[in-house]
A and B are shown apart, each in its own frame.
Chain A
């Protein structure tokens, strides 16, 4: 048994300091207080002074509480027994199942050798036209959903979880509202998807620091399943809460903030998690979707800003819809030439016309005269929003493409669409069909 230290020298925020020897950086400790046991991680060593972040927070910890170092960094049990289970950020069961202790693995594994990566090649279908048709999700991609709080990003994630063509889902909840947690659980249960899902959930009422573990735990487990050949979809919600926890610790440790209180390594911290998305040649893959709420709807806020630099595009959720502008899947061109010959043309053509619609709308609001062309665009814009953008639209890519053509045919003459002649010949609906 390792030595127990019973004198805590300092308690500041969620960080405690003890005098101890033989301790290793990143090692885990158990802090026992009146309120129960908490895990803590070594975050700084200076001679015999050891600083630890306490995952249940510093509140209620007394200088006389016991600190026991466990001799290894944070670990999590890994086996198929995880499937269908719900855990908290530290890996303790949140459901009524037994705790899991076999085959413990370390979290925060080294990064993948870039020369072992492959060029992404498989589309992941979601049956959401604004994704499948306009900003295709690609296996091994990492994408945030940028959204103002109040937008239905969790229902969107739940729907993607239910419909995406993947082998399993890992949901990492970070500061998740309890209702939202129940919503996820019930939706997946009712949809019969629970048996291929693992939850690591930190709720808004849990100690803030514990949320820091959620991405690493989720991704470490995902990585192991991927190495065993599974196509894993990791959903993280909400990464802004994760960044805020980093900020809190940084401030306690008196680090100089770089931008609005966030630490200078925010980019590296986020990148270490997002870059776990990967396609292992000859095995499985990790694809990551992460809700990122934008404080004050400001995309230049440090969290969405740093995220945008790291991820491979983003989905903007605004007014309950995925915005065609601003949203970008940087990997879409790797797959959308292999779906259907008209995919790229419909994608570009419809977006260009939608942009023109926005201009006409603006002109109209300023009281300018509406030309014939403007009126056509106005009709088109409304149809596009109702029949494509609305999140309740739930159709396969091919059906969405067909629908695109019929919307175009209903609003315009073929020549007005700017689409290439060969495509028009092949796909332009005949009058009697659209009537």
Chain B
């Protein structure tokens, strides 16, 4: 193996003189007494390599030895990933704690997959079968899923199955099959293998358009700015606007099979909430705990910065791995800005020519390549899997005109921008309903949602005007639009994350409730005065909020709906032609599936 000597130390970057071949992204270890510090090659010039060290570098010195591994930075893939809590380099954190106690002492690396655990393996191929990368050799049950044991993704070309083990209980390191390549070479296969994190897994027949909705159960998102399975979206917002809470809600309620949470460079305390609560919370769809469908990659703000850079790749690689099993995977990264900052720190140490705000010139292409790893694909066996990526962005000063937000907006399919104004007013989720957009199709007729958004927009304009001319100077007609805008904001756009019922609203219910609300939005109400109008809308709102709080299709729900319909018809003075048409289009059961 190649060796080297340290010739420079600058923060978490070391310069090394090497005595042989090295590869970009190759892993090496700085030898420091009885400790070895994991590092990755990030630049090579002649016999000089620059490496980012995934640990604090205090105590390293000139001429310290460096051992290269010959391997690229990789993660272990196999059964047992679900429910795990890893750091950015796939070190299992609870196991580290068992060994080290409270603190993350450097230089200790544990196996990512439990080597003792036995999995019930059922073979799916026979001797003589032809197989290629990604094909299923057998399955093991992992929680509620059939985990596919596949031909490793780095096996290129066609192979013939030589031998496959009988059904039984085996560990991830036991040989379960042997295959022969075209030249007669024999290869052993176990249930686990490694894959370099910075290389996308592309073992599928074709990439499909992301045309199926990913339901988040947040009304504002699903109805107005939907996300698609295999699509990408971003949540930029100033601090305290609700990015993390929104992702926490989504990690619980999203209609997907598996959720990968990448806590990247933010507070450790927030991950703890997930860590402690998920094992207790039931997933209503499966009856099992949420933890059983979740993997947490946790490289919080005080953990080593280089490992933060790696953590998003670790997360997306695990996401791609489960996509190979025909599953719907959601990756939530909080925050991609911290990942970009990790790149910036390293770029500065490499003395690269800086771009805007000192971010490296390749920032855009790296962000694009990351989101490009999302996608909905048809696998070789015809089944369909997807990786959906949602990333938060933490723009400096809350200003979206900064490099990370801008680079992200260029590549994502939906933008959920959080506004300080809305979060200050405690209007949650504080997504700006006017600025945000989505290129994906949602569950409600787009013409109708456009109409509804128009009311919010006009209502907002009228509100601004009223601040100048006062209520007296506003026409009753305008005032009604203003009230409708306010009404829709409080009963549909805002959603109570702490209410048992309101916190997760099915698409079916959204479609239903949206139609009821539209009756109000399109109606020309007969009211005599602003006072009367305000009073009426206050009552409507109160009733609608109760309605939102009632269990779907319960007796309570139905009777509240009847009361609402009654209140509407008492004042209803008909709708204009466009409104009439839209209402009709909603009654003819609109749904994408």
Closest-CB distance, A422 to chain B (whole angstroms)? 16
Chain A 264-279 interface residues, beta-carbon cutoff 8 Å to B: 264-265, 267-268, 271-272, 275-276
Known interface pairs A25-B9, A112-B102, A112-B104; A258-B275 also in contact (CB < 8 Å)? no
- The interface-forming segment of B90-98, B247-255, B312-320, B570-578 is B90-98
Chain A 238-266 interface residues, beta-carbon cutoff 8 Å to B: 255-259, 263-265
Residue interface bits B95-124, CB-to-A below 8 A is 1, else 0: 011001111111000000000000000000
A314 to B469, CA, bound (A): 36
Asked whether A119 lies within 8 Å of B272 as measured between CB atoms, the reply is yes
Known interface pairs A313-B240, A368-B470; A108-B269 also in contact (CB < 8 Å)? no
User: What residues of chain A lie closer than 8 Å to B344, measured between beta carbons?
Assistant: 258, 264
A313 to B240, CA, bound (A): 7
Is A338 interfacial (CB-CB < 8 Å)? no
- The interface-forming segment of A52-60, A76-84, A300-308, A379-387 is A300-308
The residue of chain A having its C-beta at the shortest distance from the C-beta of B62 within the complex is A45
A45 to B269, CA, bound (A): 35
Closest-CB distance, B359 to chain A (whole angstroms)? 8
Residue interface bits A319-363, CB-to-B below 8 A is 1, else 0: 000000110101100000000000000000000000100000001
A263 to B345, CA, bound (A): 9
Closest-CB distance, B97 to chain A (whole angstroms)? 5
Residue interface bits A291-305, CB-to-B below 8 A is 1, else 0: 000000000111001
- The interface-forming segment of A16-24, A188-196, A398-406, A423-431 is A16-24
Is A73 interfacial (CB-CB < 8 Å)? yes
- The interface-forming segment of B212-220, B376-384, B393-401, B508-516 is B393-401
Asked whether B394 lies within 8 Å of A113 as measured between CB atoms, the reply is no
The residue of chain B having its C-beta at the shortest distance from the C-beta of A352 within the complex is B426
Identify whether the interface residues of A are mostly helix, strand, loop, or mixed. Answer: loop
Asked whether B61 lies within 8 Å of A23 as measured between CB atoms, the reply is yes
Is B419 interfacial (CB-CB < 8 Å)? no
Residue in contact with B59 in the complex, picked from A24, A256, A276, CB distance below 8 Å: A24
User: What residues of chain B lie closer than 8 Å to A148, measured between beta carbons?
Assistant: none
Closest-CB distance, B94 to chain A (whole angstroms)? 5
Asked whether A305 lies within 8 Å of B239 as measured between CB atoms, the reply is yes
Asked whether A114 lies within 8 Å of B271 as measured between CB atoms, the reply is yes
User: What residues of chain A lie closer than 8 Å to B15, measured between beta carbons?
Assistant: 46
A267 to B341, CA, bound (A): 9
Known interface pairs A21-B62, A45-B61; A256-B348 also in contact (CB < 8 Å)? yes
User: What residues of chain B lie closer than 8 Å to A119, measured between beta carbons?
Assistant: 272-273, 276
Is B424 interfacial (CB-CB < 8 Å)? yes
Identify whether the interface residues of B are mostly helix, strand, loop, or mixed. Answer: mixed
Known interface pairs A110-B106, A308-B240; A118-B357 also in contact (CB < 8 Å)? no
Asked whether B104 lies within 8 Å of A300 as measured between CB atoms, the reply is no
Interface size classification for chain B = 35 or more
Residue in contact with A257 in the complex, picked from B8, B9, B358, B359, CB distance below 8 Å: B358
- The interface-forming segment of B180-188, B193-201, B298-306, B441-449 is B298-306
A425 to B196, CA, bound (A): 64
User: What residues of chain A lie closer than 8 Å to B266, measured between beta carbons?
Assistant: 309
User: What residues of chain A lie closer than 8 Å to B359, measured between beta carbons?
Assistant: 258
Is B85 interfacial (CB-CB < 8 Å)? yes
User: What residues of chain B lie closer than 8 Å to A149, measured between beta carbons?
Assistant: none
Asked whether B301 lies within 8 Å of A271 as measured between CB atoms, the reply is yes
User: What residues of chain A lie closer than 8 Å to B303, measured between beta carbons?
Assistant: 111
User: What residues of chain A lie closer than 8 Å to B268, measured between beta carbons?
Assistant: 111-112, 114, 117, 275
A326 to B471, CA, bound (A): 28
Asked whether B8 lies within 8 Å of A47 as measured between CB atoms, the reply is yes
Residue interface bits B3-42, CB-to-A below 8 A is 1, else 0: 0000111110001000000000000000000000000000
A130 to B55, CA, bound (A): 41
Closest-CB distance, A323 to chain B (whole angstroms)? 11
A-B contact pairs, 21 of them (CB 8 A): A23-B62, A24-B60, A44-B8, A112-B102, A112-B103, A113-B97, A115-B85, A115-B94, A116-B101, A227-B102, A263-B348, A267-B265, A268-B302, A271-B301, A272-B301, A275-B301, A300-B398, A308-B239, A310-B267, A312-B267, A313-B240
Which 9 A-B pairs rank lowest in CB-CB distance, beginning with the nearest?
A300-B397, A271-B301, A26-B58, A275-B302, A258-B358, A308-B239, A111-B302, A115-B93, A45-B9
